[in-house]
Amino acid sequence: MKKPSSKIDFTQKVITIQGLTKAFDEYEVLKGVDLDLYKGENLVVLGRSGTGKSVLIKIISGLLRQDGGYANVLGQEVDKLTPKQLDELRLKIGFSFQNSALYDSMTVKENLEFPLIRHSKDMTARDRSRIIDVVLEAVGLAQTINQMPSELSGGQRKRIGIARTLILRPEIMLYDEPTAGLDPITSQDINNLINEVQRRFNTSSIIITHDLTCAKAVGNRIVMLLDGQFQRQGSFEEVFDTEDERVKAFYNYNFTE
């Protein structure tokens, strides 16, 4: 199994979040969240469903606006950006969706080509093909280039989704439940791929999950979201070395029958 890279630059923060709050009507999801992501780091955000994990990365990418506090991404406060500035920032952020978000009517090649045609209009067809070959090789699926998404397995679709995210060479990767719905062997393949992406493309990543096997495999650091705040952080062992019943119940749910 591939391990996450240890080459982290702790002098450079690529994301800084302070006092972040978000509520939907009367329901407070985030209640003053503080978080830093360092260059080259794989940071895992753990939490039960509905605890605000996905809300957090939607705020980071500007898909949602927080109620209070601030989110600084690559030196810019996200909620203060113009639509044009936000679009430019998003080109530096790769968002790997839980359902892979592939276009069913397009081949794998066309899915990967789409963001290049949209955002790199001066790029030649030859250069597009070269870049597509590189990312397909990186995810181990060069042979699928002419297949349709419907012809791929769930794990293959996840890999192609990650390849499409990598096509614009983002500085930050955001993974939303990357192993959801996958069998244990395929999940391990995705975990290895996340670590390979970190190592090969020098990305800084936030991995949202409730899968503790995934968290242990890919995380340089783990934070646990409980009751709207990060209650635990550190290595996997440090996070779960506690008598907090909320944390123990989460662990037992994952690892006991």
State yes or no: pLDDT of 247 exceeds 90: no
Q: What is the pLDDT of residues 52-111, one digit of tens each?
A: 888 999 999 999 999 999 999 999 999 999 999 999 999 999 988 777 778 999 999 999
- Ordered by start, the domain boundaries in the chain are 12-92+170-183+202-257
Q: Give 196-217 pLDDT, tens digit per residue.
A: 999 999 999 999 998 999 999 9
Confirm whether pTM is higher than 0.85.
yes
Torsion of CA 51, 196, 96, 165, to 10 degrees: 160
**pLDDT more than 90, % of the chain:** 75
Distance CA(246)–CA(257), nearest Å, equals 18
Give the residue among 177, 12, 190, 19 at the shortest CA–CA distance from 98.
Answer: 177
Output the pLDDT for position 208.
Answer: 94
Residue 42, pLDDT > 90, answer yes
Ordered strands of the 93-96 beta sheet? 93-96, 172-176, 204-209, 42-46, 221-226, 229-234
- Fold topology of 12-92+170-183+202-257: Rossmann fold (3.40.50)
* Contact residues for 105 (Cβ-Cβ < 8 A; gap 6+): none
Structure confidence at residue 255 as a pLDDT band (50, 70, 90): low
